[in-house]
Amino acid sequence: MPILQHPVRPAPRGAGRFRHPSEAPRWHLLGLQGRSRDDILDLLDAADACRVRLRAGGTPFDDLRGVTVVLAFFEDSTRTRVSFELAARHLGATVATLTAAGSSVSKGESLFDTMQNILAMGTDVVVVRHPSSGAPAFLASQLDVSVVNAGDGRHEHPTQGLLDLMTLRDVWNGRFEGRRLALVGDIAHSRVARSAIFGLVALGASVVVAGPNTLLPAEVERLGCTVAPTVDQAMDGADAVMALRLQRERMDSGLLPSTGEFSKVWGITPERVRLMNRDAKVLHPGPMNRGVEVATEVADGERSVILDQVENGVALRCAVLARCVEADVAMRRAQSGDHAGRPGADVAARRLG
């Protein structure tokens, strides 16, 4: 069954330009903070359906034929960028990738000007990774295009959060209530941690964090989690653990004595895995530093669902891209009467056929 309920057309001239204040805002995925349980479960259900279709293979999909997706990655990525590209291609979209290296950003062009130029080429959805927290939200507020946050600074990484929830839903047989995830490592610099906490709390699970004091954000409990003084206490009786990498690219110097000490005190070892519940699994968002935050035997062991997370990332991103376009079509359908004769009317009319 196709993901979209409405046919879509190629982005018309003028699509993606500066948004007029009278126009309906587009659908964006900027973070999981404040998202409702139903909204999150709806996306997870759509991702499950995409995974069934992807695993079945066969006929290429054309759900997003005529839709243009631009991946604007101003920071390095392997999993997120490739899985978004695969997802867009699986659904028949046209995809272009922009990275900071090799673009005119190196000549001093601003983020805003760069994106205005990209959108002037006719773009329906932009997927943005940026080292500055808030960059995707800024673009969403200014431009007439759907924006998906692919990780911004230490703020959020909502598609990672959703694929983690998708993985945990499988592991936990569909039930979040009463479950507990231990999040261990560099919480302070982790956008993955923030999205995981917001998502899990919305679904009724609890999160306990553990890490060096220098790598815990001030007032971390205000995110909705509790803090354990040791990794052993965090993992004791937990239903899953997620190890987090030391984010050296976002770290001031002097926060850690050594990676060796970090590994000894906070690393996820086979002995610590045995502290968790019998069926508890090990997650890692990647990229992984083996022997630092997680032992190789654990990363490759039978409790590891790290590569399941990666597989789920493609299906989840299919669902998110489809939702951007579906929500956009629905919103413009609802508002098309109001927009007759005003900027954007041509966009809505052409999209609605």
Choice from 210, 285, 320, 321 touching ligand CP (CB under 6 A) = 285
CA torsion sign, 208 to 213 to 219 to 223? Answer: negative
Q: Under the criterion CB under 6 A, does residue 199 sit at the interface with ligand CP?
A: no
Q: 148: which DSSP letter? A: E
Rounded to 10 degrees, what is the CA torsion of 134, 136, 140, 145?
A: 180
> How would you class 145 by CB atoms within 10 Å of its CB: exposed for 0-12, middle for 13-18, buried for 19 or more?
buried
As measured in angstroms, the least distance from the Cβ of 171 to ligand CP is 18
As measured in angstroms, the least distance from the Cβ of 313 to ligand CP is 8
Hey, is 135 helix, strand or coil? helix
As measured in angstroms, the least distance from the Cβ of 189 to ligand CP is 13
Per CB under 6 A, the segment of 35-43, 74-82, 213-221, 264-272 that binds ligand CP is: 74-82
- In the window 157-186, what residues touch ligand CP (CB under 6 A)? 157, 160
The per-residue b/e assignment along 297-312, b for 16 or more CB within 10 angstroms, e otherwise, is: ebbeeebbbbebbbbb
Per CB under 6 A, the segment of 49-57, 114-122, 219-227, 283-291 that binds ligand CP is: 283-291
Per CB under 6 A, the segment of 28-36, 198-206, 211-219, 282-290 that binds ligand CP is: 282-290
Our separate counts of H helices and E strands in the chain read: 12, 9
Omega of the bond leading into 287 within 30 degrees of 0 (cis): yes
Q: Under the criterion CB under 6 A, does residue 151 sit at the interface with ligand CP?
A: yes
Using CB under 6 A, count the residues that bind ligand CP.
10
Which of 142, 124, 147, 144 is closest to 24 using CA atoms?
144
Q: Using the structure block, give the residue that is written with the tokens 């007029």.
A: 20
As measured in angstroms, the least distance from the Cβ of 286 to ligand CP is 5
Nearer CB in complex with ligand CP: 11/128: 128
Bridge partners (DSSP) listed for residue 69: 95, 125
As measured in angstroms, the least distance from the Cβ of 314 to ligand CP is 12
Q: Under the criterion CB under 6 A, does residue 117 sit at the interface with ligand CP?
A: no
Instruction: State the Cα–Cα distance between residues 105 and 108, nearest whole angstrom.
Output: 5
Q: Under the criterion CB under 6 A, does residue 136 sit at the interface with ligand CP?
A: no
Choice from 6, 79, 89, 350 touching ligand CP (CB under 6 A) = 79
Q: Under the criterion CB under 6 A, does residue 286 sit at the interface with ligand CP?
A: yes
Q: Under the criterion CB under 6 A, does residue 287 sit at the interface with ligand CP?
A: yes
Side chain identity at residue 272, one-letter code: R
Which of 236, 245, 233 is closest to 192 using CA atoms?
245
Which of 137, 82, 84 is closest to 111 using CA atoms?
137
Nearer CB in complex with ligand CP: 68/160: 160
Choice from 78, 141, 214, 230 touching ligand CP (CB under 6 A) = 78
Contacting positions for ligand CP (CB under 6 A): 77-80, 151, 157, 160, 285-287
